[in-house]
Amino acid sequence: MTRTRLTAVDEVPENGSFLFTVRERDGTEEEVILVRCDPGADGDGENEDEGGAENGDREETVRAWRNFCQHETDQRLDRGFGAAVREGEVVCPKHGSMFDTCSGYCDNGKAADSYLSDVEVTVDEGVVYLTDPGVRYSHDGGIDDGDDGPSSTSHLSF
Ligand code: FES
Protein backbone atom coordinates (compact mmCIF):
# COMPACT_ATOMS: atom_id res chain seq x y z
CA MET A 1 0.00 0.00 0.00
CA THR A 2 1.32 3.43 -0.90
CA ARG A 3 0.89 6.11 1.67
CA THR A 4 1.86 9.75 1.64
CA ARG A 5 2.62 11.70 4.78
CA LEU A 6 0.21 14.62 5.10
CA THR A 7 0.83 16.20 8.49
CA ALA A 8 0.96 15.53 12.20
CA VAL A 9 -2.35 15.00 13.95
CA ASP A 10 -1.41 17.89 16.21
CA GLU A 11 -1.39 20.19 13.18
CA VAL A 12 -5.09 19.54 12.49
CA PRO A 13 -6.97 22.33 14.29
CA GLU A 14 -9.59 21.39 16.87
CA ASN A 15 -12.07 23.90 15.44
CA GLY A 16 -10.90 24.16 11.86
CA SER A 17 -9.35 22.07 9.14
CA PHE A 18 -6.12 21.23 7.35
CA LEU A 19 -6.44 21.76 3.61
CA PHE A 20 -4.62 19.84 0.90
CA THR A 21 -5.14 18.99 -2.75
CA VAL A 22 -5.24 15.60 -4.44
CA ARG A 23 -5.38 14.48 -8.03
CA GLU A 24 -8.32 12.24 -8.85
CA ARG A 25 -8.09 9.24 -11.19
CA ASP A 26 -9.42 11.34 -14.07
CA GLY A 27 -6.61 13.85 -13.60
CA THR A 28 -8.69 16.60 -12.04
CA GLU A 29 -7.57 18.23 -8.84
CA GLU A 30 -9.79 18.21 -5.78
CA GLU A 31 -9.39 19.94 -2.43
CA VAL A 32 -9.66 17.85 0.73
CA ILE A 33 -10.05 18.90 4.35
CA LEU A 34 -8.70 17.02 7.35
CA VAL A 35 -10.78 17.48 10.49
CA ARG A 36 -10.65 16.09 13.97
CA CYS A 37 -13.13 13.38 14.88
CA ASP A 38 -13.93 12.47 18.44
CA PRO A 39 -16.15 9.40 18.24
CA GLY A 40 -17.13 9.82 21.86
CA ALA A 41 -18.28 13.42 21.50
CA ASP A 42 -21.88 12.71 20.51
CA GLY A 43 -22.15 8.97 20.79
CA ASP A 44 -21.69 8.57 17.06
CA GLY A 45 -18.72 6.26 17.28
CA GLU A 46 -20.12 3.31 15.42
CA ASN A 47 -18.79 4.45 12.06
CA GLU A 48 -15.15 4.58 13.09
CA ASP A 49 -14.05 2.31 10.32
CA GLU A 50 -15.77 4.23 7.53
CA GLY A 51 -14.13 6.88 5.47
CA GLY A 52 -11.40 7.87 7.81
CA ALA A 53 -8.64 6.92 10.13
CA GLU A 54 -8.23 6.00 13.71
CA ASN A 55 -5.50 4.23 15.54
CA GLY A 56 -7.28 3.17 18.65
CA ASP A 57 -6.59 6.48 20.37
CA ARG A 58 -9.72 8.60 20.20
CA GLU A 59 -7.78 11.79 20.76
CA GLU A 60 -5.84 11.27 17.55
CA THR A 61 -8.61 10.44 15.12
CA VAL A 62 -9.08 12.44 11.97
CA ARG A 63 -11.26 12.25 8.88
CA ALA A 64 -10.73 13.55 5.36
CA TRP A 65 -13.58 14.97 3.28
CA ARG A 66 -13.61 16.49 -0.17
CA ASN A 67 -13.96 20.20 0.24
CA PHE A 68 -17.45 20.84 -1.02
CA CYS A 69 -20.99 20.93 0.33
CA GLN A 70 -23.54 18.33 -0.73
CA HIS A 71 -26.25 20.95 -1.24
CA GLU A 72 -24.34 23.00 -3.79
CA THR A 73 -21.19 21.20 -4.88
CA ASP A 74 -19.44 24.39 -5.98
CA GLN A 75 -19.62 25.63 -2.39
CA ARG A 76 -16.38 25.01 -0.54
CA LEU A 77 -16.47 24.23 3.17
CA ASP A 78 -12.98 25.66 3.66
CA ARG A 79 -12.71 28.86 1.63
CA GLY A 80 -9.01 29.31 2.33
CA PHE A 81 -8.93 30.02 6.03
CA GLY A 82 -10.14 26.75 7.51
CA ALA A 83 -13.57 25.16 7.65
CA ALA A 84 -15.83 26.16 10.51
CA VAL A 85 -15.99 23.24 12.93
CA ARG A 86 -18.31 23.51 15.91
CA GLU A 87 -18.91 20.74 18.45
CA GLY A 88 -17.96 17.93 16.13
CA GLU A 89 -19.67 19.29 13.03
CA VAL A 90 -18.43 21.04 9.89
CA VAL A 91 -20.63 24.05 9.17
CA CYS A 92 -21.31 24.98 5.55
CA PRO A 93 -20.60 28.70 5.18
CA LYS A 94 -23.44 29.31 2.72
CA HIS A 95 -26.63 27.97 4.27
CA GLY A 96 -25.33 26.61 7.56
CA SER A 97 -25.96 22.89 7.17
CA MET A 98 -23.81 20.93 9.61
CA PHE A 99 -21.98 17.69 8.80
CA ASP A 100 -20.74 15.26 11.44
CA THR A 101 -16.93 15.32 11.37
CA CYS A 102 -16.76 11.55 11.99
CA SER A 103 -19.44 10.16 9.67
CA GLY A 104 -19.80 13.07 7.22
CA TYR A 105 -23.56 12.85 7.65
CA CYS A 106 -25.83 15.90 7.57
CA ASP A 107 -29.28 15.73 9.17
CA ASN A 108 -30.22 19.38 8.93
CA GLY A 109 -30.92 22.31 6.65
CA LYS A 110 -30.54 22.44 2.88
CA ALA A 111 -28.09 19.55 2.74
CA ALA A 112 -30.16 17.28 4.99
CA ASP A 113 -29.81 13.52 4.53
CA SER A 114 -26.52 13.63 2.66
CA TYR A 115 -22.94 12.57 3.32
CA LEU A 116 -19.71 14.39 2.59
CA SER A 117 -17.46 12.67 0.06
CA ASP A 118 -14.70 10.83 1.90
CA VAL A 119 -11.02 10.30 1.21
CA GLU A 120 -9.18 7.52 3.04
CA VAL A 121 -6.46 8.52 5.46
CA THR A 122 -4.63 6.60 8.16
CA VAL A 123 -3.10 7.73 11.43
CA ASP A 124 0.13 6.06 12.51
CA GLU A 125 1.99 7.22 15.60
CA GLY A 126 0.55 10.71 15.47
CA VAL A 127 1.08 11.22 11.75
CA VAL A 128 -1.70 11.40 9.15
CA TYR A 129 -1.10 9.56 5.87
CA LEU A 130 -3.09 9.64 2.66
CA THR A 131 -3.89 5.99 1.90
CA ASP A 132 -6.76 6.28 -0.56
CA PRO A 133 -5.91 4.23 -3.67
CA GLY A 134 -8.24 6.39 -5.76
CA VAL A 135 -6.32 9.66 -5.40
CA ARG A 136 -2.75 10.95 -5.39
CA TYR A 137 -1.35 13.69 -3.16
CA SER A 138 -0.74 16.91 -5.09
CA HIS A 139 0.17 19.66 -2.61
CA ASP A 140 -0.74 21.37 0.63
CA GLY A 141 -3.36 24.08 0.53
CA GLY A 142 -6.04 24.67 -2.07
CA ILE A 143 -5.93 24.04 -5.79
CA ASP A 144 -4.73 27.58 -6.41
CA ASP A 145 -1.82 27.10 -4.01
CA GLY A 146 -0.17 24.55 -6.26
CA ASP A 147 1.51 26.92 -8.70
CA ASP A 148 4.62 27.54 -6.64
CA GLY A 149 6.76 24.70 -7.97
CA PRO A 150 7.35 21.26 -6.54
CA SER A 151 5.64 20.37 -3.32
CA SER A 152 7.53 19.98 -0.10
CA THR A 153 9.87 17.03 0.19
CA SER A 154 8.36 16.33 3.61
CA HIS A 155 5.47 14.59 1.85
CA LEU A 156 7.23 11.35 1.08
CA SER A 157 5.35 8.43 -0.39
CA PHE A 158 6.44 4.93 0.46
S1 FES B 1 -24.46 25.25 -0.05
FE2 FES B 1 -24.08 24.19 1.82
S3 FES B 1 -26.01 24.12 2.80
FE4 FES B 1 -26.37 25.18 0.93
Candidate from 90-94, 116-120, 135-139, 146-150 with smallest mean pLDDT: 146-150
33 lines ligand 1 (CB under 6 A): no
Structure confidence by residue, pLDDT tens digits, 59-87: 459 999 999 999 999 999 999 999 999 99
Give CA–CA dist 129/7, Å, rounded.
7
CA distances from 71 to 21, 77, 143, 151 (A): 21, 11, 21, 32
Which atom of ligand 1 approaches the CA of 92 most closely? 2
User: Hey, what CATH topology would domain 4-144 get?
Assistant: Rieske Iron-sulfur Protein (2.102.10)
Per-domain boundaries in the chain: 4-144
Average pLDDT over residues 47-52: 48
67 lines ligand 1 (CB under 6 A): no
